[in-house]
Structure 1
Amino acid sequence: NNPQLPVAIQLAIFLNHAVHYGNVISPEDVGQWAGVSVGSVINCSNHVMIALLDQHDTFICFPTPDSKDAKHAQQFVESRSCPEWRNGIFAIDGSAINLYEKPGHYGESFYDRKSNYSLNC
């Protein structure tokens, strides 16, 4: 029956927890860093994630095919890569997206030069 922590503190706890994914940091470590209990770390993380996901549809959307943004993206993709990809939605730039853990199937094939399991886009 305690009041919630201020939003700025909840966000700081969430960001500290989120930036150290995997087994790098535990909720206990974040709690010690922030001076709060493990339950508060979990609650803060949940509250911030709910707030972010609540805004998902407001800020994340695909452009309509006839929009100015879509036309600009098509021109950019066509100028930088093969013309066949101009109608795609997602860009391909060679970035690596880190995976949370080693995939179960063919896991070693996802291991990169930076010692991470990742997908190359």
Structure 2
Amino acid sequence: MLFTVKLLGGKDDTATIELLPDIQVRHLKMKIADEMLLPYGSFKVLNAGKPLLDDDSQLLPAGLKEGAKLTVVLNTGDMVGPCKADSDSLMEIRVKAILGDSATPLNNLRLRKSIQNYVDFMSLDDLERYSKKVSPES
């Protein structure tokens, strides 16, 4: 099944996604997260104006049809990820410093996703070397 995905309010933020009909909605959301460089869970997916809430249902029973145009809406009020509990943390300050004037919720989420992707591909040796660089030993 082929879907067109558009980010609400995004001019050029569109993607075309192809999945098998027996895939669960959860996998569709994961694919959208990868294609649009967003953390999984930081957005809602709308089909014909209705949110896809049941992540365990398959695409056809969820009401999705071939060629459906899906809308992605950011959960800007909800922080996701490791900084959720401590939104005024040093991480937040650094993210805003990196983004500067372009520190929108969308860019914030994309930067976090990029950092997470980078860390996910690091080996354990890389992580150990990095941790020694950023945390001085006693």
TM surpasses 0.5: no
User: Over alpha carbons, which structure has the higher Rg?
Assistant: 1
TM-score by length of 1: 0.25
Q: Point out the structure with the larger helix share.
A: 1
TM-score by length of 2: 0.23
